[in-house]
Structure 1
């Protein structure tokens, strides 16, 4: 029918716009956070893009669920506000006739949410943690930023570089202080770079500098100059082991586990596509808008319902993790919200009657 094609087209274009806006807001916030940490030398500069990508993949299911809910709500609210719904209803259509066109738009996206939440998001979480662990194990000299004093993980060394330049990414005007064995060694060099020796150790090579060695509070410092000075700053770490947290476990691992935490994670992943369908159905009656009132109270109620729904799922998920309830308990939340959606749809699809007549309509009393 004409209204189905026009509705699907409008839902598709609106969903693209909503998804892009939500993704841009969330990614910009996370990017600012990671760039700030990189400027402080907490993470390597080259790690920012990868961490943002992994983080976006992990958040994709929830972002897509919110996109579907907001899209259906906004499009149908506009149809009510512009009196198009009145035209369709006066043409013989009921509000129930809008369910299948909305579901036809939602089902492919729900399948996409299911694939991402069951397979892609756990892989992204695992790779993100492994990557972060690799960066953590690396000597902090690789994450140093120009103009920032950087302390090593052991706390025995402090590094400072003025700028990057020259060939092979070498640094210029380097300061390094080593505090070990009760002595302080301060080194100033014009140039330096990181390399790996034959023993697979990471070595900081300094060129054209001076070295001062002595005990704090004493005047018997040793002063020497050098053309080339090498310092072992750490060995190459092996690949980090697989993370043990439940978010990074594959779905196959969760299926064969009796651990309550793993079972709650499995239920949460299976609930993602189901909640996408339920929220799309709930948005149909919540989109009702009275053009005469001129107030969009339905949007506030809809967003409140969304947060209550998601928080209820999170609460039941935590109960499953603690072993208080079984896995099937999360279905109760979906069923309750679905029943509320059906009742609201039936209420909005009723003829205009008084409260008494409406109660009789619900109770099937004539």
Structure 2
């Protein structure tokens, strides 16, 4: 009982600390990326915090599985390094296998959470990110502009700058527009402008008191300058098509299940792999945590990181094979996770029943043969 309570307490503290660090790193990287997109006019600055939350939810399955792996590994490594494991083995009559049950008792609820996050929450978050970015792309040029900043539109072919916009968003001041059109570069500047809508529903901006510059097709140094009293410029209007075709990684699981396509099967493999990966990693951490008390923990940590990277690459490779119709998603799920489970079983056999990879009599056989020959 004391053994289980102490282990559960240490695991809870370790999981909380490791997950906090990993989640903070992901949020920081995500915030920098989202702020960069907002500064470039690719997303609305008012939804930065919302996008950050969805980005964090998207990465939760991988982060939680990794946090469980590192937490169990750190707790077990500390027990080895402090010689607590030898006390349990000698006085308590416990073997390394006795750690499986209490570790799984603590981690299985979190593994169920990983499954829910991977199957439901993560794709829903990606769908919300896609919805926000799609709605922003469907706005016209002026509605996407923040006063005082240069914003690219029309795939970079047009650059807008508006110094001031009124509260209603219909009147603007000090407008600058640069556009590449039919091999020419057109620059328009005006003191003010008004946004209007015609009978067909197309929006355009009427600029007043400005000047238009245009280069030639062959000679870029040949500029033509025209002063104008009024100048109408059609805005980029996106058809209101809702989401359009959603990405596979943002679709609900039941929709993926009914598609029966290689891309959908690869996504099913990805989502179902993470709860299995969480169980495998937790079990793998038990025999992998062995540390000589007189040695450091660096080697075990490096091996653990390499194992996780290889596991992640294995899942990604299985996805690619499923997309290429080389195997089914069931085969990919079994091969990748089965290989890691087999490695875990092999390490348990090594630590529990074998003091060395080869039996003692086999390692001493060459010396005996040499002695007899002498």
Question: TM-score category by the smaller chain?
Answer: 0.7 to 0.9
Query: Hey, what does 2:252 align to over in structure 1?
Result: 250
SS of match in other structure, 1:174: strand
Q: 8 Å contact 2:350–2:357 — kept in the other structure?
A: no
SS of match in other structure, 1:256: helix
Q: 8 Å contact 2:196–2:204 — kept in the other structure?
A: yes
| Higher alpha-carbon deviation: 335-344 or 59-68 | 335-344
1:218 deviates by: 7.1
Query: Hey, what does 2:100 align to over in structure 1?
Result: 99
Q: How does 1:140-159 map to 2 (within 5 A)?
A: 140-153=141-154, 157-159=158-160
Instruction: For 2:343 and 2:246, locate their aligned partners in 1 and report how far apart those are by CA, in whole Å.
Output: 39
Answer yes or no: is 1:119 the counterpart of 2:127.
no
The equivalent position to 1:347 in structure 2, one of 343, 346, 350, is: 350
Answer yes or no: is 1:269 the counterpart of 2:271.
yes
Q: 8 Å contact 1:11–1:72 — kept in the other structure?
A: yes
Query: Hey, what does 1:14 align to over in structure 2?
Result: 14
1:77 deviates by: 0.8
Q: 8 Å contact 1:117–1:272 — kept in the other structure?
A: yes
Change (3 A) 1:154 1:23: closer
Instruction: For 1:194 and 1:126, locate their aligned partners in 2 and report how far apart those are by CA, in whole Å.
Output: 32
Instruction: For 1:119 and 1:354, locate their aligned partners in 2 and report how far apart those are by CA, in whole Å.
Output: 43
TM-score in terms of structure 2 length: 0.81
Change (3 A) 1:214 1:27: closer
Change (3 A) 1:141 1:335: same
| Higher alpha-carbon deviation: 215-224 or 1-10 | 215-224
Q: Can you list the C-alpha shifts for 1:183-210, whole angstroms capped at 9, x where unaligned?
A: 96734336x787878876556587xx62
Q: Can you list the C-alpha shifts for 1:168-190, whole angstroms capped at 9, x where unaligned?
A: 67865433457879996734336
Q: 8 Å contact 2:38–2:48 — kept in the other structure?
A: yes
Change (3 A) 1:141 1:312: same
| Higher alpha-carbon deviation: 263-272 or 175-184 | 175-184
Change (3 A) 1:41 1:236: closer
Instruction: For 1:180 and 1:26, locate their aligned partners in 2 and report how far apart those are by CA, in whole Å.
Output: 41
Q: 8 Å contact 1:260–1:320 — kept in the other structure?
A: yes
Query: Hey, what does 2:359 align to over in structure 1?
Result: 356
Instruction: For 2:187 and 2:297, locate their aligned partners in 1 and report how far apart those are by CA, in whole Å.
Output: 71
Q: Can you list the C-alpha shifts for 1:13-53, whole angstroms capped at 9, x where unaligned?
A: 21111111111111211211221232233332124333333
Q: 8 Å contact 1:200–1:236 — kept in the other structure?
A: no
The equivalent position to 1:221 in structure 2, one of 218, 226, 240, is: 226
Change (3 A) 1:14 1:230: farther
Q: 8 Å contact 2:54–2:126 — kept in the other structure?
A: yes
Change (3 A) 1:237 1:53: farther
Instruction: For 2:27 and 2:166, locate their aligned partners in 1 and report how far apart those are by CA, in whole Å.
Output: 34
1:276 deviates by: 0.5
Root mean square deviation of aligned Cα: 3.3
Instruction: For 2:317 and 2:181, locate their aligned partners in 1 and report how far apart those are by CA, in whole Å.
Output: 50
Number of aligned residues: 353
TM-score in terms of structure 1 length: 0.83
Query: Hey, what does 2:337 align to over in structure 1?
Result: 334
Structure 2 residues not aligned, in runs of 5+: 216-221, 364-374
Instruction: For 1:58 and 1:151, locate their aligned partners in 2 and report how far apart those are by CA, in whole Å.
Output: 28
1:137 deviates by: 2.5
1:317 deviates by: 2.0
Q: How does 1:72-87 map to 2 (within 5 A)?
A: 72-87=72-87
Q: 8 Å contact 2:176–2:187 — kept in the other structure?
A: no
Change (3 A) 1:210 1:272: same
Q: 8 Å contact 1:38–1:45 — kept in the other structure?
A: yes
Instruction: For 2:155 and 2:80, locate their aligned partners in 1 and report how far apart those are by CA, in whole Å.
Output: 64
Query: Hey, what does 2:242 align to over in structure 1?
Result: 240
Change (3 A) 1:74 1:197: farther
1:143 deviates by: 3.7
1:54 deviates by: 2.5
